[in-house]
Structures are given as structure tokens and as C-alpha cells.
């Protein structure tokens, strides 16, 4: 396993699976959609997911997460393996009702996407450049199945987009988007995300 205490910025890619964009009635983007979460959003296994008071509908989004291993700007022609040192799975937790309200008003999403504990994160393993299948179970019921082969934008495309605005740093991590099947969590739920190539990670909700 790779050390967990070196995380710096948390980049997130939105709408990176067509069927997920469609299930939320979102337009499929022409370029990667990038937003950030603070370091305080990270929640490692062993901690509980806390449902924030301002929102009623807390939803899970299961994602493949990669960790950047060097500093600089991604250049055309480079590969993900040139930049990525580790990978794991994570949850992009979303207060969906609050997000929809903010979107209708043309306001930023941070209150709905970047609250404390909004990024549960598994343990990193060394990066392997292969297509991965991953799942999400809530109370042992299968809720999401994803395959990184179905991402609209590749790791390279996402790194290139981020590099237009930010210099990449060792310890930056990137959530790569969620497939269809997102849904709500309630107090007492146990959510488990897993991949044969990475492992399984679980959290309880209260």
C-alpha cells in the first residue's frame, strides 16, 4: 500500500460517463468538467459518513481515483503512466437536493459537493494501466457497476485539462467520474466499494 498522508489537492471530473450524465438530465460535456474539494473532504475507511444537516438527499457516486506522482504540466503525447503513481476507489458524496437548488440559481456547487467528509477514499495501491471494473453495494445490494473503459475522457485528457489551469503536484489526487446508478444514503446504511484490482472499502452512514 502507498502512504495515505501525502494527499494535497482533490480534483474531481464531472459527467465523465454518458449514462450518468443522462440519468441526471445533464448535457454531455465537450471538455472535462473539473471541480475541487478541500483536503478536509477526505474520509478514510474507519470513519463514519456524516449526513450534513443542510441537505435532505445525500447520494453516493462511486469513482476510480488516481494519485499524481510528479510536478509539472502534462504535455501532449505523454501517458498516464508517466504521471500516475497510485490508484484506489472513492465516493463523491453529493447533497443532490442542495445541488439542484444551487444550479437553478446559477450558483457554485461547493456546498453540495465539497463539505467535510464528502470524499470517502480507499487505500492506494500502485497504478496499473489497465481497464478496471468496480462496484458499489449499499447494505449488500448492488447499486453501481462501472468500467473505466466507458469514461468519456481518458486520464490523459483530464490531466491535460487540469494542466491548463493548475500545475500538477505530487500528492494531488483525481476522482475520475461516476457511472450511472447513483442513489441515496440513509442513516444506518453500509456502503461498500470494491474492485478486484484494488480491494474493498466500507463506511457506515449516520
- Which pairing describes strands 42-44 and 119-121: parallel, antiparallel, or unpaired? parallel
What integer pLDDT is reported at residue 36 of this predicted model?
Answer: 97
* Residue found under cell 445490494: 141
Where would I find the beta strands (DSSP E) of the chain? 10-14, 33-37, 42-44, 58-60, 62-68, 84-91, 94-95, 119-121, 125-126, 133-138, 141-147, 173-175, 183-185, 190-195, 199-204
CA-only gyration radius of the chain, Å: 16
pTM metric for this prediction: 0.94
Residue 98 phi/psi, 5-degree rounding, is -70, -40
What integer pLDDT is reported at residue 19 of this predicted model?
Answer: 73
Q: How long, in residues, is the chain?
A: 206
Low pLDDT (below 70) residues in the chain: 1-5, 21, 24
What integer pLDDT is reported at residue 131 of this predicted model?
Answer: 92
Separation of alpha carbons 121 and 203, rounded Å? 10
Please name each of the domains of the chain with its CATH number.
Answer: 10-204 (3.90.850.10)
**Sign of the torsion formed by the C-alpha atoms of 157, 163, 166 and 170:** positive
What integer pLDDT is reported at residue 23 of this predicted model?
Answer: 74
3-state secondary structure of 100: helix
What integer pLDDT is reported at residue 5 of this predicted model?
Answer: 59
Amino acid at each position: 500500500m502507498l502512504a495515505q498522508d501525502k494527499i494535497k489537492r482533490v480534483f474531481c471530473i464531472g459527467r465523465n460517463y454518458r449514462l450518468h450524465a443522462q440519468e441526471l438530465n445533464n448535457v454531455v460535456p465537450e471538455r472535462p468538467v473539473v471541480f475541487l474539494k478541500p483536503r478536509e473532504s477526505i474520509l478514510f475507511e474507519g470513519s463514519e459518513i456524516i449526513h450534513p444537516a443542510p441537505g435532505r438527499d445525500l447520494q453516493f457516486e462511486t469513482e476510480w481515483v488516481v494519485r499524481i506522482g510528479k510536478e509539472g504540466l502534462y504535455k501532449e503525447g505523454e501517458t498516464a503512466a508517466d504521471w500516475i503513481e497510485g490508484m484506489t476507489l472513492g465516493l463523491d458524496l453529493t447533497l443532490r437536493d442542495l445541488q439542484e437548488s444551487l444550479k437553478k440559481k446559477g450558483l457554485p456547487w461547493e456546498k453540495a459537493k465539497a463539505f467535510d467528509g464528502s470524499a470517502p477514499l480507499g487505500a492506494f495501491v500502485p497504478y496499473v494501466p489497465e481497464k478496471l471494473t468496480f462496484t458499489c453495494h449499499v447494505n449488500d445490494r448492488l447499486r453501481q457497476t462501472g468500467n473505466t473503459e466507458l469514461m468519456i475522457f481518458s486520464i490523459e485528457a483530464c490531466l491535460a485539462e487540469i494542466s491548463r489551469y493548475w500545475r500538477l503536484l505530487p500528492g494531488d489526487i483525481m476522482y475520475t467520474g461516476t457511472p450511472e446508478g447513483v442513489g441515496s444514503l440513509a442513516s444506518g446504511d453500509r456502503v461498500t466499494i470494491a474492485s478486484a484490482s484494488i480491494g474493498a472499502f466500507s463506511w457506515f452512514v449516520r
